[in-house]
Amino acid sequence: MLYIKRYLTSDCISFTFVVLIYSILASLDILPPLTTLLAFQLFAMSTAATLLLAITDRIAWKNRWLSIAVDLIDVLLGVFVSGMLLNVFVLNPLNLAVVVGMCIFVYFAVYGVLMIKDQVDASRINQQLQWLQQNRDKRTGEKQ
């Protein structure tokens, strides 16, 4: 269940970043306005990339940079294949640059948010362990 929760969270965070970036670029007239259909298509693209990440994350990589490279390939493959199947964009140099740039930015933004979340969770667990240790010491009369 934790496995599914992590990827569902990742998918939602990436979709949020994509919609925010898309909205900024649309307000600058770089991209067309965001429609309801396009929002659903962007979510499908985000989900496709997340599914590919879930599959390849099961491989135990020994090198963090190799893992990140494979993750980026997963994201780009998921976005481009689903985006072209859903007719979200036509492949031209401008679209290629915008989509690749957004994918890389969103990947590292999600990576950062999940890293921060993991640190907060670890801190919370450490606080609980420290509290349990202190209470055990109080019950037994031991000092640290």
For the cut 80, the answer to whether the pLDDT of residue 141 exceeds it is: no
Q: Return the pLDDT at 17.
A: 96
For the cut 70, the answer to whether the pLDDT of residue 144 exceeds it is: no
Span 103-128, average pLDDT: 92
The tokens describing 109, both together, are 């933004």
CA distances from 32 to 19, 63, 86, 93, 97 (A): 13, 39, 16, 16, 16
For the cut 80, the answer to whether the pLDDT of residue 140 exceeds it is: no
CA distances from 110 to 76, 99, 116, 120, 125 (A): 15, 16, 10, 15, 22
pTM listed for this prediction: 0.81
Give the model confidence (pLDDT) of 47-97 as tens digits.
999 999 999 988 888 888 999 999 999 999 999 999 999 999 888 898 899
Cα–Cα distance for residue pair 11/113, rounded to 1 Å: 12
Altogether, the residues listed in the chain come to a count of 144
Cα–Cα distance for residue pair 136/11, rounded to 1 Å: 41
CB–CB of 102/18 below 8 Å?
A: yes
For the cut 60, the answer to whether the pLDDT of residue 143 exceeds it is: no
Which residue, 52, 50, 26, is CA-closest to 38?
26
| Beta carbons within 10 angstroms of residue 16's beta carbon | 15
For the packed helices 36-56 and 64-85, what is the interaxial angle rounded to 10 degrees? Answer: 140
Q: Which residues of 88-100 are buried (b: 16+ CB within 10 A; e: fewer)?
A: bbeeeeeeeebbe
